Amino acid sequence: MSKKFKRLSAVILAVVMMLGSTVMASAATMNVYIREWTQGNTSNTYLGTPNPTPDGLSNLAFTVTGVKSNGTYKDALKLAQSQGKVTLGWDEDHPEYLTSLAVKKDGNVIYSKTNNGENKDPIYDGTTMTGATWVGSSWMWYPGNDLKLADTSSYPQTTLAGTKVPSTDEFSLVLSYDTTHFKWGTALGGNN
C-alpha cells in the first residue's frame, strides 16, 4: 500500500507540475501602440498620413499582462481595462466594434478619442440635403507595431472581437484612430 501511494503521489505531483507550467506558458504580454491616421486627397482612399505620437503619447501606450492564448484581442483589451490601464467603449448594437478609448497613467486620462462623423459643406435643394462631404473618425486596428503604416489596405478584415490573439509569449497590437472623408450625392458633381 505504501509503494502504491508513493507512486500515485509522484504521478499526481508530475501532472500538477505539468498543468502549472502549461497555465504559466499560456499567459502572454500584449504591447499596445496607438497612432492616428488621416486619409490623403488622392484617388487611393487607402493612402494617408500617420501620426505615430498623437498628443505626445509615447510609442508604447500600455502593456497588458496575463493575456490568455485562447482569447480574442477584445478580451485582452478588456483585461487592460480591468488592470486600470484604459477605459473602453463598445458599440451597443455591434459590440465587436471599439467606439472609444481613453489611456490612463496613474489613474489619470492622458489620451482619449471617440468615434465621430458629420456631413461637411452640405448642398441643399430647398430643405433637403442632396450631397455633402462625409468626414469621420473611428478606431481601427492591426497586429504588430509599425506606427508609420501609410497604406491601410492591409488592415485585417476582421474585428477585435472576432480575432484570436497569437499563441506567443509576447505580441503587439496597433490601435489606429483613422479620419476618412468622401463626397456623396450632388457633391460628386455631374448627374446623380
Question: For the chain, which residues make up each domain, given as ranges?
Answer: 31-188
List Cα–Cα distances, 30 to 27, 156, 166, in angstroms: 10, 18, 10
Instruction: Give the pLDDT confidence score for residue 57 in this predicted structure.
Output: 86
**Long-range CB contacts (within 8 A, 24+) of 49-55:** 49/150, 50/147, 50/148, 50/149, 50/150, 50/176, 52/147, 52/148, 54/111, 54/177, 55/111
Range with the lowest mean pLDDT among 54-58, 62-66, 85-89, 149-153?
Answer: 54-58
Instruction: Give the pLDDT confidence score for residue 96 in this predicted structure.
Output: 94
Mean pLDDT within 139-157? 96
How are strands ordered across the β-sheet holding 108-114?
86-90, 98-105, 108-114
CB 160 within 8 A of CB 175: no
Residues of the chain with pLDDT > 70, as a percent, come to 85
Residue whose cell numbers read 486596428: 141
Mean pLDDT within 163-191? 92
Mean pLDDT within 117-131? 95
Cell triple for 77: 483589451
Mean pLDDT within 34-60? 92
